[in-house]
Structure 1
């Protein structure tokens, strides 16, 4: 999947969730709430990696490592959009800077 397709699909999904949040809470989540939701999922990625390596109990099987990594990418795309950051440009610039740093 191309980054721009990821961004467009993520925007549509986030807009649909905003509608559910309005029904539930009377307003959509703020960008700060989105960031906290991302951090929760990022923490779960850590726990799932630990479980996969045998250093954390694996009792909860309600979601998998690949699912939570993908969800974290979705959150990052949504947060970039909410903050007017072009994800393709940001990733290109970041990778270029790291490559130059390591040369």
Structure 2
């Protein structure tokens, strides 16, 4: 799946969530509530990373880790969409800047 397809899929899933939220709560979640959900997902991801280190083992660890990483990516895509961030361009720019910074660090005594 290409990045643009990932964004479109994330947007479509967000729209479905908004429908369910409107039916259950009378309104869709705010960006702040989506962010809080993301924080919960990051906490779940942290526990799974501990599992990979042997601290919190579980039988379905690899599948759970893949699922949680995908949940986190969905939240990031959704927040970027909410705030009008061109995440693909921002990622490319940020990676370029980090690469330059790391190259500069390696060159300095």
Same fold (TM over 0.5): yes
Map of 1:17 onto structure 2:
17
Quote the Cα distance in structure 2 between the aligned partners of 1:47 and 1:68: 10
Map of 1:82 onto structure 2:
82
Which ranges of structure 2 fall in alignment gaps of 5 or more residues? 104-109
Partners of 1:7 and 1:87 within 8 A in 2: no
Deviating 4+ runs (over 3 angstroms): 57-61
Map of 2:41 onto structure 1:
41
Map of 2:98 onto structure 1:
98
Map of 2:67 onto structure 1:
67
Quote the Cα distance in structure 1 between the aligned partners of 2:35 and 2:58: 26
Asked which structure has the greater RCO (Cα within 8 Å, sep 6+), the reply is 1
Quote the Cα distance in structure 2 between the aligned partners of 1:79 and 1:97: 22
Quote the Cα distance in structure 2 between the aligned partners of 1:26 and 1:50: 38
Is the helix fraction higher in 1 or 2? 2
| 1:5-49 Cα distance to aligned partner (Å, 9 max, x none) | 111110011011000000000000000000010110011111011
Q: How many residues align?
A: 102
Aligned to 1:28, the other structure's residue is in SS state coil
| 1:45-98 Cα distance to aligned partner (Å, 9 max, x none) | 11011012111254897x701100011001100000001101111111111111
Which ranges of structure 1 fall in alignment gaps of 5 or more residues? none
Bigger radius of gyration among the two: 2
